Copies of this chain bind each other. A is one copy, B any other.
C-alpha cells in the first residue's frame, strides 16, 4: 500500500494544479476510490502532509477531504484520521488502469519506485516493511526532464503573441504535414549553425516529440522491408518497445570501454538501421569516438542502411566544443532527430527530423495519414522564438546553470564519497555515478527510503545484456533551483561511504 500511495501522490502531483485545484483533487480521489486503487478502509495521509507532497495549500486538501466526507466517499473520525468509506461495488479496473499507465510512462522516466530485479543480487537487507515510508519522493533526480521552473515564460509569450498576431489566416487551416515553412526555415539555419546538421527546410519534418518521429521512421522502415533496427546496450525501454511494436527486431550492439561497437561483423550486419545516441550515450554519457562515427556511417553507405541519430541534448556540452551531429557526415544515410524537450520543455511537444531525401516522401505520407499534430500557432511561436535569438539566449543561460549544478554534483560526491567515480559529465543533464559491483539495488533502496527518486543504470540495460555495471543515473537538470541543494544532499547521504568503482568509469 505504501507503494500505491507513492504512485498515487506522484500522479496527483502531475495533474493537480491550475484554476480548479480542489475539484481536480476531488476527482482524482473519487477516481482512485472508484477504481479500487484506494481500498475501503485505507487511511489517507493527513491534509498537511498530502498538501506538502502536492505543493498545495493545506486548506485546499482539507476542503476536498471535507467535501468527499460529505459526499460519502470518505469518513473522518476523531483519532482515526480520514479513511476511504466502505461502499458498494468498487470497480475492479485497477490492474488494467495501472497497466495502461505503465505503458504510457513518459520518455525518460521509469517506474517511480524501485523493485528488486531478478538477476541482480544485493547483499543489503531492505528496510523493515512495517515502518511507514515517505508517500511521495521529496527529491527528484531522475534523468529526462529539464528544469521546468526555468522555462522562459515571458520570452515565449512574447514570441507567441508576435507570431500569432502576424499569422496569415491560412495558418489556422489544415497545413503541410511537414510543418510550417516558417519554422522549418529557421530550424534549418539553427541546426546547421548549432549542430552541424546539413538541413534544408524541405527535408525537415516537425513532429510532436522524439517518440513520434521514431514511430514514423519505424513504420517507414518496416514498410520498406527492413526487419531489424539495431540498438545500443543501454537505453530507454520505451524506444525499444516502439520499434518492436512496429514489427521490427532489435538486435543489441555490444560495447567496450570506449563505447558502442559498430562493426559490420556484429549485429549491424543484418540490420537495416541503427538507433544511436551518438553525441551523448543515454544513459551512460559518452560520445561515440570519431573512428566509430565514421565506421557506422560507412556501414550505412555500404549496406544501404540508415543511422537514426537521437540528438536529445546536443545543445548542452560544457568543457569543449559540442560534438557535431553525426548527420553531417552523410545526410543521405543519417536521420537526425532533435527535440525541444530537453532544451526548452517537453510540454510544448515540439521535435523535428531531418531526413535523407529518399525518405521524405514516405515519412510525410506516414505522418499525414496520422495527423498534423503540432498546432500551427505553436510552430509559428517557436519559429519566432528561434528566429529572434531567444532560443540561443535560453540555451546559453541553461548551459551555465546546468554546468554549475554538474560542478556542484562532482564536488559534493568527491567530498562525501571520494571513491565514487562520476562519469558522463562532459555534456547533457545527467551523470552516472559508478557504484561498487552488486550495490546498485541497495543504494536505490536507500534513495527511495530517503525520498529521493533516482534510477540505476540497470533500469536502462537491455534484457539480453549481462549486468556488468552498477551505478546511478543522476538527472541534475530535473529539480528547480530551490530543490536542488537538498536533493544533492540527500543523494550524498545514500552513496556508499566505502570505496567503490567499476571497470566502466571511463564512459
Rounded to whole angstroms, the CA-CA distance of A264 and B160 in the bound complex is 52
Given known A-B contacts A375-B347, A377-B348, A164 and B173 have beta carbons under 8 A apart = no
Query: Which of B149, B177, B380, B480 sits near A18, CB closer than 8 Å?
Result: B380
List residues 193-225 of chain A with CB under 8 A from any CB of chain B: 200-202, 208-209, 211-212, 215
A375:B361 contact, CB within 8 angstroms: no
Is A174 a contact of B346 with CB atoms below 8 Å? yes
CB distance from A161 to the nearest CB of B (A): 6
Nearest CB in chain B: distance from A256 CB, A: 32
Which residue of B is nearest A55, CB measured? B168
Number of chain A residues close to chain B: CB under 8 A: 94
In the bound complex, how far is the Cα of B94 from the Cα of A360, in angstroms? 12
A346–B173 CB distance below 8 A:
yes
Task: Evaluate whether A93 and B176 lie within 8 angstroms (CB atoms) in the complex, with A169-B151, A170-B148, A368-B100 already known.
Answer: no
The answer, among B18, B160, B208, B215, for a CB contact under 8 Å with A181, is B18
Per-residue B-contact encoding for A153-178, CB less than 8 Å = 1, 0 else: 10011001100111111111111110
- The segment from A19-27, A414-422, A435-443 found at the interface with B is A19-27
Contact present for B371 and A349 (CB under 8 Å): yes
On whether the beta carbons of A347 and B172 are closer than 8 Å, the reply is yes
Cβ of A330 within 8 Å of any chain B Cβ, yes or no, is no
A residues 413-465 touching B (CB-CB < 8 Å): none
Q: Is A14 positioned at the interface, with any CB of B under 8 Å from its CB?
A: yes
Interface residues of A (CB under 8 A from B): 13-20, 23-24, 27-28, 31, 91, 93, 96-97, 99-101, 103-109, 144-145, 148-149, 151, 153, 156-157, 160-161, 164-177, 180-182, 185, 200-202, 208-209, 211-212, 215, 238, 241-242, 245, 345-350, 357, 360-362, 364-365, 367-378, 380, 387, 480
